[in-house]
Structure 1
């Protein structure tokens, strides 16, 4: 089958890449599909359960092909021939692995432009219900519908055609037409008695008009090995597993060490705080409640240092209230309530300030005015700022 003849008989071919028979002169300058001798890459039919799919189906097909051909797995290159059968394929194409390596090597510098390395009978145009034949010299290429084909010498092609016709009659799947291109062979054409034999694709009805390389033929591409590619990817992934595991273990170790360090720091901080509070109670504050340790300690120290107003008569009643009111006008605190009386010692103020620093400023301002202010309660105000209750006492008159 010559390249030019294939071009004439498939005017509506979907794949426009030129076909080049391996070893037949120089390959095309651009991308092309290389054809290998189909006699060295035959299609064989297997008995595969319909329930098998995917990789499991491929594995069973390889074992059956190896058992039938008696070859070792490493010596055979076995490819599933899905073609038009989809996932229910039952044929495989088989070639000697060493021969496949020689095919790839023979491409030489043109290997980068080769888009496929397929058996030559797969380049024949095909259509459901049509058988295609091409004779070139002592070689006959046959395509028995989209899913089958072979390449053989005329003497071997005759029994293969008889067997295919017998099986087709038994299954009631005889072709509706025969497309025979190239040199005529009356002996072989006589086998198609009762069938329509035409020399040109243009003589066929539209429903039988054949198309080349349009039925998944590139799935039989010997230029690449999908299983080897998958194994290479799997090997690369395995090489990355241990570094990833070590990195994960290092991250877990770092996180664990960090958590232990934080836990130890928190325990140390709690111990220091407990010791500080115990010392403050023992030496300064006694057993009373501690609301703000820093402020209360500062006041206790100031009281011990000062004792300044001990001899002066403390303010009381309205005088104390007047003094407190005068001081509070100089602060930014908002006074929400005031309490004083017999049951209340001094003046109790309910205030709202912007933050705790402002609260310290209010207390400091009261003390600078000669009053003794203590913080009874403080907390975050739901409407914003800090709410505090101050108890103001004493002060010199």
Structure 2
């Protein structure tokens, strides 16, 4: 008899946002993967569940800046996941608004590269005139313009080769996918799933990809559940405390804490009234103080439109396509790119071209490579 647990429900239909009308029934909306990239994080193995999500979210926001929605990539029920999908919060709101009346039938807003088939040991590249999508095994993928996609695939192959994790086969799909064939020299290349080697059976959205969902806010859902549980637990807890006979002592401690909190709050309000908000009602202390600080800061500093690392990388991609990019690093000090060019004159040309594209490229290292050419590390910033 067949195990019922082995029977998988068919996945809902998929619909790319902006591509005609949504399906009539339940569906998964695909959002542009270039605007919802995957970020690899370093997470302690002991962290699980909500604690792991909280640490991952803080790491992603510390690295890329505020204003982002972060979703854990927990595929096939893995508890030791280490990647998150990130997208700008305003863009997420636009995606949700694009669903219109079909929002009730939408089962998730998922990056489009997760709609590619996946299997361990298989890389799938789909390329056409609109761009490139790649699924590098079950838990990795991206979408990008062709020039940037070529660089990213080159780096991914170098990392896989260094780690002894080269794919067993590469599936090239789409009218322009053959342009990437030279990158995979020596690896089995196929253009149809039926031609894959024995043992590779790719499946589409069968690993829980729909859970990487920007349509819902899991933190808000968790807070709502926690609030409901708290409303149920507190009465029972108070009865138990009274039955054990130490409710009086507990009440006394709470009273002392409240008195101390009231004193601190009074001092805080006095300081705020004296230094920041001399008049008007104070309804949300933290928000009003931050707003007043930002207002005063804006009055003395010129307004500068903040550019995130992803924006800088997209802006620099057309220029860097003409150089040999060795590595791209997102660190606490911003975005840096390691390039290799023919000589210092070529390096000056790359820096000048980045400046013409509206970027400031500051070389933090430049030297003649032993094998010839010049290697340099460029720190990229938006032009003032």
Q: TM-score, normalised by structure 1?
A: 0.56
Correspondence 1:1-397 to 2 at 5 A:
15-69=10-64, 71-72=65-66, 75-84=67-76, 86-238=78-230, 244=235
Residues in 1 aligned to 2:237 and 2:61: alpha-carbon distance in whole angstroms: 42
Post-superposition offset of 1:238: 4.5
Post-superposition offset of 1:23: 1.0
- CA deviations on 1:226-268 (whole Å, 9 max, x unpaired) are 21101122234445677x489969x99xxxxxxxxxxxxxxxx
Higher Rg: 1
Residues in 2 aligned to 1:64 and 1:202: alpha-carbon distance in whole angstroms: 41
Residues in 1 aligned to 2:214 and 2:79: alpha-carbon distance in whole angstroms: 20
Residues in 1 aligned to 2:87 and 2:74: alpha-carbon distance in whole angstroms: 16
Residues in 2 aligned to 1:103 and 1:236: alpha-carbon distance in whole angstroms: 30
Note if contact 2:128-2:177 (Cα within 8 Å) is conserved in structure 1: no
- CA deviations on 1:121-179 (whole Å, 9 max, x unpaired) are 00000101000111132310100000100000001101100111011001111001111
Note if contact 2:168-2:187 (Cα within 8 Å) is conserved in structure 1: yes
Q: TM-score, normalised by structure 2?
A: 0.57
Post-superposition offset of 1:29: 0.5
Secondary structure (helix, strand or coil) at the match of 1:140 reads strand
Secondary structure (helix, strand or coil) at the match of 1:33 reads strand
Residues in 1 aligned to 2:140 and 2:69: alpha-carbon distance in whole angstroms: 18
Note if contact 2:129-2:176 (Cα within 8 Å) is conserved in structure 1: no
Residues in 1 aligned to 2:40 and 2:82: alpha-carbon distance in whole angstroms: 6
Note if contact 2:68-2:88 (Cα within 8 Å) is conserved in structure 1: yes
Residues in 2 aligned to 1:212 and 1:186: alpha-carbon distance in whole angstroms: 22
Note if contact 2:11-2:205 (Cα within 8 Å) is conserved in structure 1: no
Note if contact 1:84-1:147 (Cα within 8 Å) is conserved in structure 2: no
Residues in 2 aligned to 1:161 and 1:26: alpha-carbon distance in whole angstroms: 33
Note if contact 1:202-1:209 (Cα within 8 Å) is conserved in structure 2: no
Secondary structure (helix, strand or coil) at the match of 1:131 reads strand
Note if contact 1:84-1:146 (Cα within 8 Å) is conserved in structure 2: no
Secondary structure (helix, strand or coil) at the match of 1:25 reads coil
Residues in 2 aligned to 1:239 and 1:98: alpha-carbon distance in whole angstroms: 33
Compared with structure 1, are the counterparts of its residues 177 and 236 closer, same or farther at alpha carbon in structure 2 (3 Å cutoff)?
A: same
Compared with structure 1, are the counterparts of its residues 130 and 14 closer, same or farther at alpha carbon in structure 2 (3 Å cutoff)?
A: farther
Post-superposition offset of 1:112: 1.1
Unaligned runs of 5+ in 2: 1-7, 244-384
| RMSD value, Cα | 2.5
Residues in 2 aligned to 1:174 and 1:237: alpha-carbon distance in whole angstroms: 48
Aligned pair count reads 236
Q: Which moved more, 1:78-87 or 1:42-51?
A: 78-87
Post-superposition offset of 1:24: 0.4
Compared with structure 1, are the counterparts of its residues 178 and 29 closer, same or farther at alpha carbon in structure 2 (3 Å cutoff)?
A: same
Residues in 1 aligned to 2:147 and 2:155: alpha-carbon distance in whole angstroms: 14
Unaligned runs of 5+ in 1: 1-12, 253-397
Post-superposition offset of 1:194: 0.8
Secondary structure (helix, strand or coil) at the match of 2:96 reads helix
Residues in 1 aligned to 2:120 and 2:237: alpha-carbon distance in whole angstroms: 57
Note if contact 1:48-1:90 (Cα within 8 Å) is conserved in structure 2: yes
Residues in 1 aligned to 2:230 and 2:207: alpha-carbon distance in whole angstroms: 36
2:321 alignment counterpart? none
